[in-house]
């Protein structure tokens, strides 16, 4: 008898967990239905592919943010980091000067190396400096942003080599088997992220660290290393996002990546990851990023909201989505 009770609670818990994981997808479907009712052009393949493609940057960055937040941290510097990485990557390409694949590969390598280093810096200051991640990354947010403004002298950093631009452009605009490359990129990043978070001991350590640092420490989790690594993963994700971002407009400006950190955090939270740590949901995060972009898209496609009120409606939809999620959980 005890056995059956145990089994039924276990089943209940599994069902409960599934509902939590499913709710972002339910919100997504509700939004798609709303969009289709508002404007018939919404459901065209080109519109939906555009929206999902351009959500790729935030989705990729937010996969990294899922690790940081699940581990009980926060990274406010990702938008500035993306701008700095994009700027340095373009400057590297301009200085190398060539229009071939080798040049491009070197530039990409530089981008990933720089963003990983930026993430490492964030992680080391948080762990060894024992400073709140909010404050550390607020500081580095200013530093990275100022550096890109300084590099650009307040103007724009643009890819100068026309051949290289044309060579690189397909990375954003082309597709493989009808799926745009940025979408493939974020699916691959999310799959790897999910694998690491759910299937490795490192992933379990991240979640343990986020749910209770003291317990994790006494259980032998190497806290400093795990925490630092979450920021490095965040950095690498920013680097990958930049690789997809640069071919779109071929330039970086002082306004590149502005407020991306808030969008990434919003995507993570909509996806069901707890802001206080201890729970991480990679696929929910990806859906959260798509939801954010869809809301903006539907607002522009709708004819009955004044342009002055678009921001208010977007904000309201996000809050409603969270309330719906919450009530779904309570109902179980």
Which residues of this chain interact with another protein, rule CB under 8 A? 39, 41-42, 44, 46-47, 50, 54, 149, 152-156, 158, 173, 248-249, 251, 253-256, 258, 296-297, 300-301, 307-308, 310
* Terminal C-alpha separation, the chain: 24
User: What minimum distance in Å lies between the beta carbon of 310 and another protein?
Assistant: 7
Taking CA atoms, 123 is separated from 73, 76, 91, in Å, by 10, 12, 26
Distance from chain centroid for Cα 12? 31
Structure token digits, residue 60: 């990729």
Sign of CA dihedral 289, 121, 258, 113: negative
* DSSP H or E run through 157: strand 157-158
What is the smallest separation between the CB atom of 144 and another protein, expressed in angstroms? 14
**Nearest distance from C-beta of residue 166 to another protein, angstroms:** 12
- Are 329 and 20 in contact by the 8 Å Cβ rule? The answer is yes
| Nearest-approach distance from CB 323 to another protein, in angstroms | 27
CA angle 53, 276, 270 (to 5 degrees): 30
- Rounded Cα distance between 90 and 258, Å, is 18
Nearer to another protein, 20 or 248 (CB): 248
Q: Which is nearer to another protein, 217 or 248 (CB)?
A: 248
Pick between residue 106 and residue 301 the one whose CB is nearest to another protein.
301
Q: Which is nearer to another protein, 104 or 152 (CB)?
A: 152
- Closer to another protein by Cβ: residue 67 or 260: 260
Distances (CA, A) of 114 to 63, 88, 149, 239, 309: 19, 8, 17, 8, 39
Q: Report the nearest approach of another protein to the CB of residue 36 (Å).
A: 13
Q: With respect to another protein, which residue has the nearer C-beta, 148 or 270? A: 148
Q: C-beta of 89: minimal distance to another protein in Å?
A: 16
The sign of the torsion formed by the CA atoms of 80, 81, 86, 91 equals positive
**158 vs 211, which CB is nearer to another protein?**
158
> Which residue lies nearer to another protein by CB, 1 or 45?
45
Q: Among positive and negative, which fits the CA dihedral 137, 86, 113, 94?
A: negative
Q: What whole-number distance in Å separates Cα of residue 145 and Cα of residue 261?
A: 13
Minimum CB–partner distance for residue 75 and another protein (Å): 20
Distance CA 240, CA 247 (A): 12
Give 69 or 296: the residue with its C-beta nearer to another protein.
Answer: 296
Q: In degrees rounded to 5, what are phi and psi of residue 139?
A: -65, -50
CA dihedral 249, 251, 254, 258 (to 10 degrees): 40
Cβ 311 to another protein shortest distance, Å:
8
At closest approach, how far in Å is the CB of 239 from another protein?
Answer: 18
């Amino acid at each position: 008898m005890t056995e059956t009770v145990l089994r039924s609670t276990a089943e209940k818990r599994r069902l409960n967990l599934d509902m939590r994981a499913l709710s972002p997808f339910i919100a997504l479907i509700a939004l798609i239905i709303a969009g289709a009712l508002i404007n018939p052009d919404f459901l065209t393949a080109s519109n939906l592919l555009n929206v999902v493609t351009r959500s790729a940057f935030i989705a990729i960055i937010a996969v990294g943010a899922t690790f940081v937040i699940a581990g009980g941290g926060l990274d406010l510097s990702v938008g500035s980091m993306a701008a700095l990485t994009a700027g340095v990557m373009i400057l590297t390409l301009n200085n190398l000067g060539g229009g071939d694949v080798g040049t491009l590969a070197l530039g990409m390598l530089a981008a990933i190396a720089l963003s990983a280093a930026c993430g490492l810096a964030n992680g080391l200051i948080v762990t060894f400096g024992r400073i709140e991640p909010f404050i550390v990354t607020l500081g580095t947010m200013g530093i990275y942003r100022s550096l890109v403004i300084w590099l650009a002298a307040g103007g724009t950093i643009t890819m100068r080599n026309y051949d290289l631009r044309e060579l690189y452009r397909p990375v954003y605009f082309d597709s493989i088997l009808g799926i745009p490359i940025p979408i493939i990129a974020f699916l691959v990043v999310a799959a790897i992220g999910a694998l690491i978070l759910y299937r490795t001991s490192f992933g379990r350590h991240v979640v343990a660290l986020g749910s209770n640092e003291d317990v994790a420490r006494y259980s032998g989790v190497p806290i400093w290393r795990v925490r630092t690594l979450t920021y490095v993963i965040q950095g690498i994700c920013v680097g990958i996002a930049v690789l997809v971002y640069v071919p779109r407009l071929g330039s970086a400006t002082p306004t590149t990546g502005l407020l991306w950190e808030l969008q990434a955090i919003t995507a993570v939270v909509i996806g069901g990851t707890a802001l206080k740590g201890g729970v991480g949901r990679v696929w929910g995060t990806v859906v959260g990023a798509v939801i954010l972009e869809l809301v903006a898209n539907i607002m522009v496609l709708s004819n009955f909201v004044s342009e002055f009120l678009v921001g208010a409606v977007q904000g309201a939809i996000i809050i409603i989505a969270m309330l719906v999620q919450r009530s779904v959980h309570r109902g179980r």
